Amino acid sequence: MKKLLLTILFLVCAVLVAWQVNEVLKFKHTDGNLILEAFYSNKKPIDVLMLGSSHTYDHLNAGIMWRSEGVSAFALAAGSQRYWSSYYYLKESLKYLKPQVLIFDVGGGARYSGRHSDSTITIWSTLGLRSYIDKARSIALSVPSIDRRVSIFLGIPEYHSRYRELKEDDFPFLTSKEISSVVFGRIHTNIYKNNIQDMSSIQDMKALDEKDEEFFLKILDLAKQNDIKVLLVKSPYQLPPEHQKIYNYIDNIAKAHGVEFLNFNLSYKDVGIDPLYDFRDFSHFNVHGIKKYSMYLAKYLRENYNVPDRRNDPEYAEWDKWANDYYMLAFTPKLNTTLQEYLKLLKNYSNDVVVFTVVTDEASRQIGKISQEELSILGIDADLKGKHQYGYVSVYDTETGFDYEEISENQTIIFKDRRDKLPMGVDVKSRGGRDLNKNENTISSIKINGQEHSKNKRGLNIVIYDKKRKTVIDSFYVDTHGDPTFTIKR
Amino acid sequence: MLFNSLTFLIFFPIVTVLYFVIPRKFRYLWLLAASYYFYMSWNPKYALLILTSTFTTYLCSLMVSKASTVSKKKLYVALSLLINLTILFTFKYLNFFTDTLNQLFNMSAPTFSLILPVGISFYTFQALGYTIDVYRGEVTAERNFFKYALFVSFFPQLVAGPIERSKNLLNQVRMMESVQFNYERMRSGLLLMIWGLFLKVVLAERAAIIVNQVYNNYENYTGFYVIIATFLFAIQIYVDFSAYSLIAIGAAEVLGFNLMQNFNTPYFSRTVGEFWRRWHISLSTWFRDYLYIPLGGNRCSRWRKHLNILIVFVVSGLWHGANWTFVIWGGLNGIYQIIGAELKPIKTRIVDTFKINTESFSHKFFQIVVVFSLINLSWIFFRAPSTSVAINMITHIFAEFNIWIFVDGSIYKLGLTALELKILVLSLTALLIASLCQYNGISIRAKLAEQAIWFRWAAYITAIMILLIFGYYGPTYSPSDFIYFQF
């Protein structure tokens, strides 16, 4: 008996050590297990749960839905996810929350039609599940090989060789910043000229695969049992007619179950989607498409499903920050707004940045219309009013508080002192209109790691360097001499 | 089902737990069923072959035991040999001989597309050894067919040995009902399995990457590349094969069976003869007992003895594979021993003349290095796909003295990164330490058992984690079979 207890104790110790090793080695996929980790760490009520594949987690951005309508939504989805995996996600999620509405993107039934998922997709959809029984079921439905099922279930055979690529990020537990980047932070900016054909003439139906239909109905039943309203959606993509026939079939089932189905392949124009501008590939939105689609659905949910606006709820203060982070990262480079609006966004931008401001020629005439408090967001504390054609340099680190400021009537300002306090190579100089050396070619300059970023236009030339991302996230100028609207120009 | 597969990770605990839980009188049936399942996981059709071998040797051995005259006994033994060696010949050698004859006589006799059943040489020799043992009266014929079938198909050693003797394993099968679960024995067996798995998945699989890179692209490599690859192949084949034996012995130990030792630090041998007494002991002794001694063994003229050695090693080479490379490999090992025996008086004279202390470390070390080098030379034939490639590689060794590859980073271009090479070197160091302990009669398992519980547990868990993290397994890799499966 003693030996049996010792054996059990030994096994417990071995499992605990293996558990920790597993935590370090495991994949950190943002569209799979990290989403589940973020979900498990969330303590706030979620009104809208969103299931599906990349068309859910990539297209429905919870940050934008929050920012635009105050909808608390969570995309619990993984790339190329099959219906059965979505079902087990729903089953798992109901142990932790009771959403008011379930949005389910039904693309999986047409795009993957009952096929086994490959191992990577299965890992995305199962690795982070806490319920071992449901995890085993989901894996068994996804992968035919028994050896592979065991391997994926255990996890470590799949990723133990990651010891070669471990980084610091693999060791700590998930931080709130990481959660925000998982839940709110997918940014795809490239533009693909898509071609979505008109499918409205296709009235035929094609049945779902038997296994897909079984789990599709299970999802509807489970939602019904838990008194959750279901909104079926299909975000637009370049689809073949065969897919549309399956969506017609799904529409039929939806009607029979009294469930709404919004097939945006037929009505993407209502959302304002422009196939030539809003996609990053034939099937996925870029940030512009994501924004339109997310805002549309958030509004639709508010108007048709009575989803509350929770923006005044202090419990969600963190979401405000994350959503603004996302918005800032995703849209700032394209946002031609006023300096004042921009400064509001910058203030809410949680990443640590270094702001460089230099004056080219002249910046003083209109600057008094901007409050000193607003300018201090850029690190500008000096009073520039009346400093006609003065040179000016400001370098401000929002994290450390490092602040360098110099103003000069007729001498070139070169930022030299304490440059070693900054994490990158910096060469900054400014020449005002009265500068004695102004006939030289370069009037003002902001070089970061040897690369010039200053627009070198009249007024304030501003460059924002993100220390976490180790990159310049924005460079623009505002003509504070001649433009009373202070429009940002790039 | 590979020992380093996840399926075995499930299979073995289930087999073990049920083995000790079910009524003892059914144990042999349970193990027999498990063994056939294990074997059929490669190819269910293979079961017919092993069943045929089992049935014929069972029947012939019963007939031998009942036969009234020696000539009748010999007849049944011959019948058993004929049937089983014919099966072995058909599946393993027919195409080789047909090809050889076609080349020699410019013929075009057809060859057949036959898949070599895993482990056929192992279980055939085990079953034939039993028939001969019954003929010699060293063991009584087993009447219970299922118990005998278990002796032939016992899963831990079925596909790659050790080739057990009926005196050892069959008698244990007969006594298995009395075996009780033993905690210490289980722990000891599991430790052996962990060590075997370490050798296979951490060391052998890593070494194999460099070996395969050089041997599969031999025309691109010269000098130290070939030396490194050949040295690593010597390590790979040793740890790969001995790993299988260790896992087999460990698994059998957990179930309460004692299998024979198959390797005893062969690379510390001071003569080629000693090497063969330490390498694949179950096969070497099989050939000694069932071929070398019947041929006359040592009790004959000097040249007849040399011929016997040569025959045994050529046949041993053929046992390993139907290819002239294996014949040359076997023959080379035989010739080493014949030359060694012929040079012995000269060696003795040199030792006497120069008053060499043969028990000094330096002399022993010199002998070990010489034997290891000779064995390495023969491994080139074993590993190379053809004799011409083997000869080519030997000439390539002397083509360039490229010692700079150790310092200019070229060594990292053989398939292993600097990190992987470090792990390989650390694993080799662990093997060296374990081998030195074994050579000096120190049992690491016994020493470990004497330590405080926290230390033991830390050691066990560390070993398991090393396997889990640094082992070559899982879908990221396509692990090679244990090399000896093909024999």
Summarised one tens digit per residue, pLDDT across range B89-105 is: 888 888 888 888 888 88
Q: Between B480 and A66, whose confidence is greater? A: A66
Contacts (Cβ under 8 Å, ≥6 apart) of B344: none
Taking CB atoms and an 8 Å cutoff, what residues of chain B touch A163?
A: 469-470
The reported pLDDT for the residue numbered B300 is 83
Bridge partner residues of A346 (DSSP): none
The overall average pLDDT reported for chain B is: 90
A161 touches chain B (CB under 8 A): yes
Residue range(s) occupied by CATH 3.40.50.1110 in chain A: 2-321
Please report, for chain B, the start and end positions of each structural domain, with discontinuous segments joined by +. Answer: 6-180, 185-486
pLDDT of residue B31: 95
Preferred mutation among A21, A121, A147, A149 to probe B, highest tally of B CBs within 10 A: A147
CB contact set of B200 (below 8 Å; sequence gap of 6+): B3, B4, B239, B240, B243, B244, B247, B482
Residue of B12, B416, B420, B468 to mutate, testing the A interface (most A Cβ within 10 Å of its Cβ): B468
- Cα torsion A433, A436, A442, A444: sign: negative
Q: Is B280 a catalytic residue?
A: no
* Residue A151 contacts B, CB cutoff 8 Å: yes
**Cα-based distances in Å from A328 to A187, A400, A464, B149:** 11, 21, 12, 74
pLDDT range class, residue A468, cuts 50, 70, 90: low
| pLDDT of res. B251 | 96
pLDDT band at A180 (very low <50, low <70, confident <90, very high): low
Residue range B194-225, pLDDT digits in tens: 999 999 999 999 999 999 999 999 888 999 99
Query: Where residue A179 falls among pLDDT bands split at 50, 70, 90?
Result: low
Pairing of strands A101-105, A48-52: parallel
Q: Mean pLDDT across the stretch A366-386?
A: 89
Whether B419 sits inside 8 A of A164 (CB atoms) is yes
Average pLDDT over residues B301-307: 88
For residues A284-311, average pLDDT: 93
Return the ∠ at Cα A292 (arms to A286 and A293), rounded to 5°: 85
- Write the pLDDT tens digit of every residue in A55-64: 998 899 998 8
User: Which residue from B minimizes the CA distance to A18?
Assistant: B465
Chain B residue numbers with beta carbons less than 8 Å from the beta carbon of A10 are 457, 460
Chain-wide mean pLDDT for chain A? 86
Bond before A99 cis per omega within 30 degrees: no
pLDDT of A151 > 90? The answer is: no
A119 touches chain B (CB under 8 A): yes
Nearest-Cα distance to chain A for B419, in Å, is 8
Q: Residue B261 pLDDT > 70, yes or no?
A: yes
Q: For the residues A73-91, what does the mean pLDDT come to?
A: 90
Per-residue pLDDT for A32 more than 90?
no
- The two structure tokens encoding residue A110: 């047409």
| Whole-number Å distance between alpha carbons of A462 and A395 | 10
What pLDDT is attached to residue B43?
86
Q: How many CB pairs under 8 A join A and B?
A: 56
Helix extents (H) in A305-357 = 317-331, 339-348
Between residues B107 and B342, which one has the greater pLDDT?
A: B342
Token pair in block for residue B210: 């460099």
Q: Tell me the CATH number for domain A2-321.
A: 3.40.50.1110
A37 to A153, A175, A180, A182: CA distances (angstroms)? 17, 11, 12, 10
pLDDT value, residue A440: 60
Read off φ and ψ for residue A78, nearest 5 degrees: -145, 155
Quick check: B13 contacting A, CB < 8 Å?
no
Q: What residues of A are in contact with residue B419 (Cβ under 8 Å)?
A: 164
Q: How far is CA A170 from CA A29, A162, B131, in A?
A: 11, 10, 60
Task: Tell me, yes or no, if A127 comes closer than 8 A to chain B by beta carbon.
Answer: no
% of chain B residues with pLDDT over 90 = 68
Catalytic pick from B280, B306, B320, B396?
B320
**Chain B closest-CA separation from residue A177 CA (Å):** 29
Is it the case that residue A439 has pLDDT exceeding 80?
no
Q: Please tell me the total number of residues recorded for chain B in this structure.
A: 487
CA distances from A429 to A434, A460, B162, B227, B242 (A): 15, 13, 80, 62, 71
For residues A173 and B1, the model is more confident at B1
CB of A15 less than 8 A from some CB of B: no
Chain A touched by B107 (CB under 8 Å): no
Residue in B with minimal Cα distance to A120: B475
pLDDT digits (tens, 9 = 90+) for A226-271: 999 999 999 999 999 999 999 999 999 999 999 999 999 999 999 9
Nearest CA in chain B to A17: B461
Q: Do B9 and A158 lie within an 8 Å CB cutoff?
A: no
